[in-house]
Amino acid sequence: MDGSGDAAVHFAVTIIGKDRPGIVAGASEVLYRLGCNIEDSSCTMLGGEFAMILIVSHEKPFSKTRLLDDFKAFGEAMQLSVFVRTLGKSEIHYETPSGEICMVSVYGSDQPGIVYRVTKELAERQINISDMNTKLIGTPEQPVYVLMLEAVLPEGIEVEHVTRLLEKLKKELKVEIGVRSVTPVSL
């Protein structure tokens, strides 16, 4: 089913709860049985909790209430919270990033402020963060904080600029910071 256009209604579905096998399979089964199309999705595990967000579409007429009702038994059985938001026309198009894409990686001793300081530097230069993940690795005695983010560079800013920009912060926070270009692949 092509979910785009005026013939379809779109929803953002958010699912959160204790991680366990079968969440993705169960959620996708509910959507399949309803005849929904999964247009975009992301899921991750955060400290033992599972989080998933999906953009789904269904041919009109179709209601948010029907979607929530069909998710109710699945959510209860898996002890998950399921939220649904109806999307308006202006919210249903994918915007291709218009600038160069880069990956920023930060590794260092765990300390408050790493995410804030790095993202503040980027935001002040209108660098948009399109994806971000953080993890605590290492041992309890020597925890290492890892921050990985994908950013879209505005016109006039290149990867080398971002590397130089974060050099001062690297010294202040006593962390390793790497910046590299991500070349989009055309199919």
* pLDDT of amino acid 3: 45
User: Whole-angstrom Cα distance, residue 66 to residue 34?
Assistant: 9
The percentage of residues in the chain with a pLDDT greater than 70, rounded to a whole number, is 93
Question: In this model, does residue 185 exceed pLDDT 70?
Answer: no
Query: Distance from CA of residue 92 to its chain's centroid?
Result: 16
Q: What average pLDDT does this structure show over 88-116?
A: 86
CA triple 147-119-113, angle to 5 deg: 70
Nearest to 65 by CA among 85, 41, 81, 51: 85
Q: How confident is the model at residue 89 (pLDDT cuts 50, 70, 90)?
A: confident
pLDDT tens for residues 57-81?
Answer: 999 999 999 999 999 999 999 999 9
**Hey, where are the domains in the chain?**
8-91, 101-182
Instruction: Looking at the structure, give the CATH architecture of the domain made up of residues 8-91.
Output: 2-Layer Sandwich (3.30)
* pLDDT of amino acid 153: 94
What top-level class would CATH report for the domain 101-182?
alpha beta
Q: What average pLDDT does this structure show over 143-161?
A: 93
**Integer angstrom CA distances of residue 93 from 2, 3, 4, 5, 176:** 13, 11, 8, 10, 36
Cis (ω within 30 of 0) for the bond into 61?
Answer: yes
User: Whole-angstrom Cα distance, residue 60 to residue 50?
Assistant: 30
Neighbours of 53 (CB within 10 A): 15
Nearest to 12 by CA among 42, 33, 34, 32: 42
The pTM of the full predicted model, rounded to 2 decimals, is 0.73
